[in-house]
Amino acid sequence: MTEYQLYCFAQSGNAYRAALMLNLIGAKWKPVWVDFFGAAPQRGAEYRGNVNEMGEVPVVVIDGQKKLTQSAVILTYLAKHTGKYLPKGEDEELEALRWIVFDNQKTNGFLGPYRFLKNWAKPAPDGAVLKFLKGRIDGNLAVVNKRLEKAPFILGARPTIADVSMSAYLFYPAEEYGFDVRKDHPAIAAWLDRIKQLPGWAHPYDLMPGHPFGTNLLNGKPVS
């Protein structure tokens, strides 16, 4: 059976996309903890030279040989190689890509920085920055909510990598955002509940090390 390692940390919604997909497809995988907020190896030459020149997580290593980065690339690879959560045919492939790009730029693209600034940035951000990001978040989530009023999943009746990508940031606790996406967007709330029912679904803090914040723990046990 193929073995995967995932460079990640608990608070990373980008890495959670990959962790969730690995779990949903029933893959054999282990997390490699990146001390993102502490020693910050992702900023150093060793990480950029040997792990990911972009200085980011997620990074997936396949059977100790092949390395992939960018969650969209990782999701596409895993779907193609397992046939699971795979968009089928050119039209579906392009439609999934369309929503994954929208997610990377417009939903997670604003939710990620908003949550980071609100919880962990030092010094604390200017209120005007958060206000700007929140306005973009509200508008972009409304687009996703409208889409999900028409069908149970983003491409229609069946869940695909577009759902895995788009949902990841939305499973983090509402307190970390300071607003409740579920309350404001009922079709998104119902869709998140459907995704939670998929076999293999698990919360980000149960899949990736680094929670509680400042530790390298995964479900109470240290991970290196």
Ligand X SMILES: N[C@@H](CCC(=O)N[C@@H](CS)C(=O)NCC(=O)O)C(=O)O
The string of DSSP letters for 36-88 reads TTTT-GGGSHHHHHHT-TT--S-EEEETTTEEEESHHHHHHHHHHHH-TT---
Distance of closest approach, residue 42 Cβ to ligand X, in angstroms: 6
Return the C-alpha torsion angle 168, 172, 177, 182, nearest 10: 80
Distance of closest approach, residue 43 Cβ to ligand X, in angstroms: 7
Smallest CA-to-CA distance from 100 within 14, 186, 8, 195 is with 14
- Name the residue nearer to ligand X (CB basis): 35 or 184: 35
- Name the residue nearer to ligand X (CB basis): 14 or 140: 14
- Name the residue nearer to ligand X (CB basis): 8 or 188: 8
Distance of closest approach, residue 190 Cβ to ligand X, in angstroms: 25
- Name the residue nearer to ligand X (CB basis): 56 or 163: 56
Distance of closest approach, residue 10 Cβ to ligand X, in angstroms: 11
Binding site for ligand X (CB under 6 A): 12, 14, 42, 55-58, 70-72, 104
